[in-house]
Amino acid sequence: MENIKRTHEELQNNIPDLKGSSEKNYLYHEGYVYYSFEQPGARDATGWVSGGEVFKRVKDDGTEVTAFDKTYNKSVETASSRHMYSYSVPAFADGYVYFKILYSRSNDWSDDKNEWITYRVKADGISDLE
C-alpha cells in the first residue's frame, strides 16, 4: 500500500472540520489527522454553556472518524463560577499521540484551580485512549 502525504488543502477538502484551520491546529501523522473540534453552544438559565469540545482522529481521506468520548468537555460560565477547558494541539512522541486539556476553575467559594488532563493513543489508527 502506497503512503501518500496529502497537502493542507487536500486535508481541508477531505475533512470538513478542518475548513478554515491552519496547519498548526492539528497533527498529521502516518495517514491520520488528530485535532480538537468545538461544537456550537447555547445559553441556558444559568448562563453561557458551550456545546463542548472533543479530540478526533480521522483518516486523511476523510474516512474512519473516531471521536474520543473521554475527551469531551463543556465549558460553563455562570454568575458565580467558571469552568473552562482549553485543548492543545496533539503531539507525537514515543509511538503515541498525546492529547492535553487544561482545566481551569474559578468561583466565589473556593480557590482557583488549573490542571492538565493528559490522554494518549497508539499512533496505529485502531487503538483507543489510555
The Cα–Cα gap between 54 and 71 comes to 5
Quote the pLDDT of residue 1.
Answer: 47
**Which residue has cell 473556593?**
110
Residue 26 one-letter amino acid: Y
| Cell numbers that stand for 25 in this block | 491546529
Residue 27 one-letter amino acid: L
Quote the pLDDT of residue 27.
Answer: 95
Quote the pLDDT of residue 83.
Answer: 81
Question: Three-state SS across 14-27?
Answer: HCHHHCCCCHHHCE
**DSSP classification of residue 4:** -
Helices then strands (H, E): number in the chain?
Answer: 1, 11
φ and ψ at 51, to 5 degrees? -75, -15
- Cβ atoms within 10 Å of 85's Cβ, excluding its own: 20
- Indicate the pTM of the whole model: 0.81
Contact predicate 40/49, CB 8 Å: no
pLDDT by position in tens, the chain (length 130): 457 889 999 999 999 999 988 989 999 999 999 999 887 666 666 555 556 788 999 999 999 998 888 887 877 777 788 888 889 999 999 999 999 999 888 877 778 888 999 999 998 777 778 7
SS3 24: helix
Quote the pLDDT of residue 90.
Answer: 95
